[in-house]
């Protein structure tokens, strides 16, 4: 039975889901050395922000298949190292969306109305109304940096409160911004014209210290900055100086460059600063949501299924995953089939999306699935959706991606062509309305057969007697035929026969089949 380590506190609901398929050990507060010592025995790892999954941890994780982060950010995971090892890294991009957005809004309003300090004043038996005169957000300009799910929610609610919304996000279309009621602008304009600035971006090389002495100098002296995204996107020393000198109106921070927050000058400041201990996702609802989301993904990967929110699978997002999941299964099956037909050493693979599938869909997940299937016979469990492209590149497999929307034999189909030690072979497959896979073409010959665990393919002349001879030969070796279909282009020309059989073909049968007059080639496939 698989084993999963939960190394940070997560909701019990997630643990119950994991227990369906694995033995679950909850062991929190581990140091790096302690984690390295025990990680080799685990197939899955579920974390929050506390556990640091470093390269050393990943190198020690001999059996690890998946790392699940119950939250949005994966800053505490060495994703590159995990990818090289073929370890899936997943997060929960939507589980705490509302919680994080609401916290950013609460921080903005708390800062505007001096709520934390006023609260402490009343609790100290004071009634000092004059010291806590606030500012309205109504008709003020809010600059939203990052229009992902959280930033978009903040923008929509703020718009409803009567704010003007400026937004910066290089990956968002003007149409999407219009739907949210935002005006897309450059960062310089956002910084200079906003009364409030809220950050909803990951920490990357490009965003590290995005708010710094130079960008702070562009802003209004009354601007208020909110960061409930990631620590390190603000230069905290520069912000402290600006707040101290009064060149910035205020700041509300939930995240910091180093957590927990240690000896920081920010603690010295007064009512113009609100600090919280990384509470963005800390609602009862969000904790349940992210635990369920990530636990389900770990369960699925341990069962051999793709994850819906893998951060290190090219072109894969939850929305794309939901739409393409059945076709990834189709692509993987076809890749497995054509890889075995082409032989041990494949030199090139052509992946063609056909029909409606060729229009407006991301091809990368389907290409990755095809490569996973192609390499699965040789690499078995060592290849997965994460490392399939890397493994193919290291083996010198030339990859070609094409599309043809004009082919409408089936509304959505995938064509694969592989060149290998056994020559050039091609297969086409489609999904029926009920989701069942059909192999619709083999080496240019039309067929309509479901994939089977054990299959036999023959290329022969379409003349009387050959099918009977092969059937009798299999019978003599006690091989039971589950189904049979012949595909041909012209009468008495070349033809392909596809046999689904109940058991592996016994040793020595294939050479006997090749001796049958009119048979030019034969292949066994195990799917």
Residues acting as catalytic residues = 230, 259, 278
Of 301, 356, 291, the closest CA to residue 323 belongs to 356
Q: Residue 27 has which token pair?
A: 């062991």
Q: CA dihedral defined by 116, 121, 123, 124, rounded to 10 degrees?
A: 140
**β-strands 66-69, 88-90: how paired?**
parallel
- 8 A C-beta contact, residue 314 and residue 368: yes
The residue assigned the tokens 């951060």 is: 311
Residue reference for tokens 């910084």: 191
Tokens of 344: 């041990």
Tokens of 25: 């050990």
| Rounded Cα–Cα distance for residues 346 and 392 (Å) | 9
Q: Omega before 423 cis (within 30°)?
A: no
Q: Which residues pair with 275 in a beta bridge?
A: 253
Phi-psi sector, 169: left (phi>0), alpha (psi -120 to 50), beta = beta
CA separation for the pair 38, 23 (Å, rounded): 14
How far is residue 502's CA from residue 495's CA, in Å, rounded to a whole number?
Answer: 23
Cα-trace Rg, the chain: 29
DSSP string for 180-208: HT-EE--HHHHHHH-SEEEE-----TTTT
Phi, psi of 120 (to 5 degrees): -65, -35
Residues making up the chain, counted from first to last: 527
Q: Among residues 297, 209, 296, 222, which one has the least CA distance to residue 16?
A: 296
Contact 200, 229 (CB under 8 A): yes
Phi-psi region for residue 444, left (φ > 0), alpha (ψ -120 to 50) or beta? left
Which backbone phi and psi does 476 adopt, to 5 degrees?
Answer: -65, -25
Query: Dihedral, CA atoms, 135, 141, 145, 150, nearest 10 degrees?
Result: 70
């Amino acid at each position: 039975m698989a084993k999963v380590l939960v190394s940070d506190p997560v909701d019990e609901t997630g643990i119950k889901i994991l227990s369906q398929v694995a033995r679950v050990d909850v062991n929190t507060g581990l140091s790096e050395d302690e984690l390295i010592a025990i990680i080799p025995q685990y197939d899955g790892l579920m974390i929050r922000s506390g556990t640091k999954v470093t390269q050393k941890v990943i190198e020690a994780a001999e059996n690890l298949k998946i790392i699940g982060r119950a939250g949005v950010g994966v800053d505490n995971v060495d994703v590159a190292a995990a990818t090289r090892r073929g370890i899936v890294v997943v997060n929960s991009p939507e589980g705490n969306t509302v919680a994080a957005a609401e916290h950013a809004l609460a921080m903005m309003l708390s800062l505007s109305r001096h709520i934390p300090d006023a609260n402490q004043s009343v609790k100290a038996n004071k009634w000092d109304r004059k010291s806590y005169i606030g500012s309205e957000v109504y008709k003020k300009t809010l600059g939203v940096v990052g229009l992902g799910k959280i930033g978009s929610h903040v923008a929509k609610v703020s718009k409803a409160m009567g704010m003007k919304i400026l937004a910066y996000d290089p990956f968002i279309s003007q149409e999407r911004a219009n739907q949210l009621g935002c005006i897309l602008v450059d960062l310089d304009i956002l910084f200079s014209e906003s009364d409030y600035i809220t950050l909803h971006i990951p920490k990357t090389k490009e965003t590290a210290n995005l708010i710094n002495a130079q960008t702070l100098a562009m802003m209004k002296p009354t601007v208020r900055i909110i960061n409930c995204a990631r620590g390190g996107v603000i230069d905290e020393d520069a912000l402290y100086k600006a707040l101290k000198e009064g060149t910035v109106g205020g700041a509300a921070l939930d995240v910091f460059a180093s957590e927990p927050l240690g000896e920081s000058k920010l603690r010295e400041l007064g009512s113009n600063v609100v600090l919280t201990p990384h509470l963005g996702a800390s609602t009862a609802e969000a904790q349940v949501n992210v635990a369920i989301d990530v636990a389900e993904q770990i369960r699925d990967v341990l069962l051999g299924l793709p994850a819906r929110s893998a951060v290190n699978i090219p072109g894969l997002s939850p929305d794309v995953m939901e739409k393409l999941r059945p076709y990834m299964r189709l692509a993987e099956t076809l890749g497995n089939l054509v890889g075995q037909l082409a032989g041990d050493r494949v030199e090139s693979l052509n992946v063609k999306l056909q029909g409606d599938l060729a229009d407006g869909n991301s091809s990368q997940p389907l290409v990755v699935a095809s490569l996973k299937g192609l390499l699965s016979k040789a690499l078995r469990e060592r290849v997965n959706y994460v490392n399939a492209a890397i493994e193919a590149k290291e083996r010198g497999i030339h990859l070609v991606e094409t599309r043809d929307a004009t082919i409408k034999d089936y509304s959505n189909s995938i064509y694969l062509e592989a060149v290998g030690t056994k020559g050039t072979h091609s297969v086409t497959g489609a999904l029926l309305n009920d989701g069942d896979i059909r192999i619709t073409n083999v080496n240019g010959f039309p067929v309509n057969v479901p994939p089977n665990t054990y299959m036999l393919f023959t290329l022969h002349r379409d003349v009387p007697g050959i099918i009977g001879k092969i059937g009798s030969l299999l019978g003599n070796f006690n091989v039971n035929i589950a189904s049979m279909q012949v595909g041909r282009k012209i009468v008495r020309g070349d033809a392909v026969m596809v046999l689904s059989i109940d058991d592996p073909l016994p040793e020595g049968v294939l050479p006997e089949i090749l001796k049958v007059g009119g048979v030019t080639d034969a292949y066994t496939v195990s799917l």
